Chains A and B, each alone.
Chain A
Amino acid sequence: MTKTIDMKDEYILQIAGTDLNYRSVVVADHTPTALQILKAGGFKDLDQKTVIQILPTGDMEERRPAENCDLASRKPNRFIIADADCLFRFILDDSHLVWPEDSISEEKLRAIGNVNDKADIFIRREVEVDEVLNKGDTLDLTALGTEVLYSKSSRWKLNVQGVKIESVDPEISVSDALRQAEFDPDQGWIIILKSASGKRQVDLDFIIDLREPGIEKLRLTPKEINNGEVIAEYRRDFKLLPIDEKHLNEMGADWETIIDGARRWFVYHAYILPSGYNVEQIDLAVEVPTNYPGGQLDMFFCYPALTLSAGNIIAQTQTIESIKGQSFQRWSRHRGHSSPWNPQKDNLITHLGLVEESLVREVG
């Protein structure tokens, strides 16, 4: 005989064991007790079973036999049912999870934690570097302290002629990289891929493996340089310390060293400011004495002159210095007595740290 159930009282649940193979069962109540769910699932030895509800928030909670389980509407209502003496508790991406076994595979963790395929799951470590869980790994839950896990999408970075791009896929074609960096791939470029193993010329179809250690940047040079289309040549009137040049180039900075009269200037073009100023970018200048690094770097200079969006006055910036005919605003910012310039440790890069701090402080 066929049993009929009033449609209004029919609720579908997904239940699974620790294999996570879900099957559907039907209950007649939108707040069934754990016991009702077990019965609906056809389980025996009901007092041996543990019922775990996966909440719409992603949290997992154990339900006592007589406890009512609120079902969510229009969402899968999932339950894990297992024989368990105790539960193992941990946190993944801010969700509180429980698991009835003393270990869990990476694959199941991804499923109950709702972590997508592009992301990796990491175990947060106090002292060592956080550990990534690889495919096929099993996480020992007994070894966990108050274990915290998190997932993070792998992002692969590449510098395309000064423009930083990110890729979720560790492999990217040269033409895609150019497009993403907003260069027209068909404009006719000589493309050089710089990596730790050296430089090589590549074409548009070349696939860059961003996992290769030391991949640095793609350098683009127009195949034909015509009059009027010459890429700006940066001046190098004097040298900086090797460590300065290395860092500046790593930062992808556009910089020059200029001797104007007898004064020697480092100029950082298109230096990006924190928000709160009248402009977003400036040319930032620092005077570099001939006897640098014995002679210290002091103060810095901004073109165009900066004002605060909030309208407040910026102290000690009223002096104007002419560099190659441009009027730079001098920021009289100096090292404190507690941290004097140390010729053996300080350099342009440490000075740029102070510059940034000074610029942030005004708008902080």
Chain B
Amino acid sequence: MDRKWTLALSGFQYERLQAHLHPGDGLEAAAILLCRLVTGDRSRLLVYNYILAPLTSSARERDHIIWPGEVLSRAIDSAEDEGASLVLIHSHPGSMLAFSSIDDVSDRDIVPHIFAGWSEQSPARYHGSAIMTPDGAIRARIYDAEHNEQMVDLVTVVGDDIKYFWLEDIEGSNPPAVVQPFCDGMTDKLGRLSVGIVGASGTGSITAEQAARMGFGEINLIDFDLVEHKNLNRILNSSIADAQESRLKVNMLKTAIESYRDNCAVNAYPLNISEREAVLAASKCDVLFGCVDSLEGRYALDLLAQAMLLPLFDVGVTIPTRVSTDGRVVISDAFGRIDYIQPGRSTLFTREVYNSESLRAEYLAAADPDAFRDEAAEGYIKGIAHEAPSVIALNMQAASASMLEYIARAFPFRHESNANYARTIFSIASAEQDHFAENSFSTEEHPLFATGLREPLLGIPSLSE
């Protein structure tokens, strides 16, 4: 997990880049990635936009490309205002996933030029270059202001599929082999990844168990709550002693995982995901599992996925009830819902998992239960569903479906495209399972897309410093 540099792209940007860089004529093509830089132990370059070098006005060969300088000039103009980093990417149609000596010469020429041409006062500290082979694999490197080269450890693409291009998997100049799901190769790859599990109760403890046993290299547990006796029927690994000592759920799970994993870093964050420190912790992960029972938590995770270009798997269960004519409470169904959120596409908000009214209602219910009840009675707050408490059997199925959804996207094995499975809803009562495709939900340009940790954090004033 001693990864220094990650370059992250959204799936829809990646697809358009791949089509441009490999137009099918076997000649090289080029583009410039505009990236926001998030520095830290694991620095991330977030691609927020790109500029394509026109195919017709570039001198393109099988092993060489000379592209118009005005494209670079445009990119610098645009990047200066944003304090952004530039990564110049071109294709190697011959499948060589390595920088050629021509590429080295070109970088030595152009990278100092980018730093020197920067007219803003605080230039971005890093710019870089990258190559893409016809199979879509990317290799990247970056330079600091002194032009020292550093290789990017991981290039990740978060789209319908989640792609990881690891530097350490490239042997010579050969693109890495495809990794089969459920096999040792998958365990190895997961060992390099950091997972964020937000919520450590009914579904969260089960998700943590799966993540740990499957081999994730770092597990970040975020939950502010304490183990109570009433939780023992549905939180994995919780004990009577934990309840008696009122241990934090995250600490209890950390201890449990460390009892069977010795090659895994477990970080326990006893925080609400609506707190700044929790958001910052989650922002460092490679994949997020939303196992919260609050809308506010889902809201924060929804925004974080967009801002940091992270894949988000949000799981929910519900057992709705109704009152029969003779006054008995009747269970009407037991549902599980798994939503996969990718940056730049539909969100939990556009999928109507929460909305601005329900968020306000949740705030008021916590801030002033009396005022909440009054408003509900007056009809200003609508749609408070009656439901039965959930049960571990349902939680397990939902948490399992959520983790399998991740595997299907990171190590594809489905018969059909993953694009068809943006949302899965299963009904136990009707023994049915419905799938909703990504394009069945509305998408709007998200103002937080690839904005990183810009203040106020996630655009929420209460999360600002």
Chain A: residues with CB nearer than 8 A to chain B?
238-242, 261-264, 287, 289-299, 319, 321, 332, 334, 340-344
Nearest 5 CB-CB pairings of A with B: A295-B359, A289-B363, A296-B356, A262-B367, A341-B356
Known contacts A239-B462, A292-B462, A293-B460; A262/B299 CB under 8 A: no
| Nearest CB in chain B: distance from A77 CB, A | 64
State in angstroms the CA–CA spacing of A296 and B359 once bound together: 7
CB neighbours (8 Å) of B462 from chain A are 238-239, 290-292
| Nearest CB in chain A: distance from B301 CB, A | 12
Is there contact, CB below 8 Å, between B456 and A262?
Answer: no
Known contacts A239-B456, A298-B380; A291/B296 CB under 8 A: yes
CB neighbours (8 Å) of A290 from chain B are 274, 296, 363, 367, 462
List 10 A-B residue pairs with CB atoms under 8 Å apart, sorted by A's residue number. A238-B462, A263-B371, A289-B364, A291-B296, A292-B461, A295-B360, A298-B357, A298-B360, A321-B371, A332-B380
State in angstroms the CA–CA spacing of A341 and B367 once bound together: 21
Is there contact, CB below 8 Å, between B380 and A334?
Answer: yes
State in angstroms the CA–CA spacing of A248 and B100 once bound together: 56
Known contacts A240-B461, A343-B349; A291/B456 CB under 8 A: no
Is there contact, CB below 8 Å, between A341 and B363?
Answer: no
Other than A297-B360, A299-B380, give 13 A-B pairs with Cβ distance below 8 A: A239-B461, A289-B360, A290-B274, A291-B296, A291-B462, A294-B296, A294-B354, A294-B460, A295-B360, A298-B360, A340-B356, A342-B356, A344-B444
| Nearest CB in chain B: distance from A286 CB, A | 12
Is there contact, CB below 8 Å, between A264 and B367?
Answer: yes
Known contacts A241-B461, A343-B349; A294/B367 CB under 8 A: no
The residues in B between 324 and 362 inclusive whose CB is less than 8 angstroms from any CB of A are 349, 354-357, 359-360, 362
Is there contact, CB below 8 Å, between B464 and A239?
Answer: yes
| Nearest CB in chain A: distance from B114 CB, A | 30
State in angstroms the CA–CA spacing of A264 and B461 once bound together: 12
The residues in B between 419 and 465 inclusive whose CB is less than 8 angstroms from any CB of A are 444, 446-447, 456, 459-462, 464
CB neighbours (8 Å) of B359 from chain A are 289, 291, 294-296
CB neighbours (8 Å) of B295 from chain A are 291
Q: Is the CB of B366 closer than 8 A to any CB of chain A? A: yes
| Secondary structure dominating the interface of B | helix
CB neighbours (8 Å) of B355 from chain A are 340
CB neighbours (8 Å) of A241 from chain B are 456, 459, 461
Is there contact, CB below 8 Å, between A262 and B368?
Answer: yes
Is there contact, CB below 8 Å, between A341 and B464?
Answer: no
- B378 (CB) vs chain A CBs: closest residue: A332
- A263 (CB) vs chain B CBs: closest residue: B367
| Nearest CB in chain B: distance from A122 CB, A | 35
Q: Name which of B356, B359, B364, B464 has the most chain A CB atoms within 10 A of its CB.
A: B356
State in angstroms the CA–CA spacing of A340 and B355 once bound together: 10
State in angstroms the CA–CA spacing of A290 and B371 once bound together: 16
| Nearest CB in chain B: distance from A347 CB, A | 10
CB neighbours (8 Å) of A296 from chain B are 356-357, 359-360
The digit string for B158-200, where 1 denotes a CB below 8 A from any CB of A, is: 0000000000000000000000000000000000000000000
CB neighbours (8 Å) of A343 from chain B are 349, 356
State in angstroms the CA–CA spacing of A297 and B356 once bound together: 9
State in angstroms the CA–CA spacing of A293 and B444 once bound together: 17
CB neighbours (8 Å) of B362 from chain A are 291, 295
CB neighbours (8 Å) of B446 from chain A are 344
CB neighbours (8 Å) of B366 from chain A are 262
State in angstroms the CA–CA spacing of A292 and B462 once bound together: 8
The digit string for B274-305, where 1 denotes a CB below 8 A from any CB of A, is: 10000000000000000000011001000100
Is there contact, CB below 8 Å, between A294 and B356?
Answer: yes
State in angstroms the CA–CA spacing of A239 and B465 once bound together: 9
Is there contact, CB below 8 Å, between A261 and B356?
Answer: no
- A257 (CB) vs chain B CBs: closest residue: B461
CB neighbours (8 Å) of A295 from chain B are 296, 299, 356, 359-360, 362-363
State in angstroms the CA–CA spacing of A102 and B349 once bound together: 64
State in angstroms the CA–CA spacing of A295 and B371 once bound together: 16
CB neighbours (8 Å) of B296 from chain A are 290-291, 294-295
| Nearest CB in chain A: distance from B293 CB, A | 15
| Nearest CB in chain B: distance from A125 CB, A | 32
CB neighbours (8 Å) of B380 from chain A are 298-299, 332, 334
Known contacts A242-B456, A344-B447; A291/B364 CB under 8 A: no
Q: Name which of B357, B359, B378, B447 has the most chain A CB atoms within 10 A of its CB.
A: B359
Is there contact, CB below 8 Å, between A261 and B299?
Answer: no
Is there contact, CB below 8 Å, between A293 and B459?
Answer: yes
Is there contact, CB below 8 Å, between A341 and B357?
Answer: yes
CB neighbours (8 Å) of B464 from chain A are 239
Is there contact, CB below 8 Å, between B460 and A292?
Answer: yes
- B374 (CB) vs chain A CBs: closest residue: A319
- A238 (CB) vs chain B CBs: closest residue: B462
| Nearest CB in chain A: distance from B300 CB, A | 8
CB neighbours (8 Å) of A344 from chain B are 444, 446-447
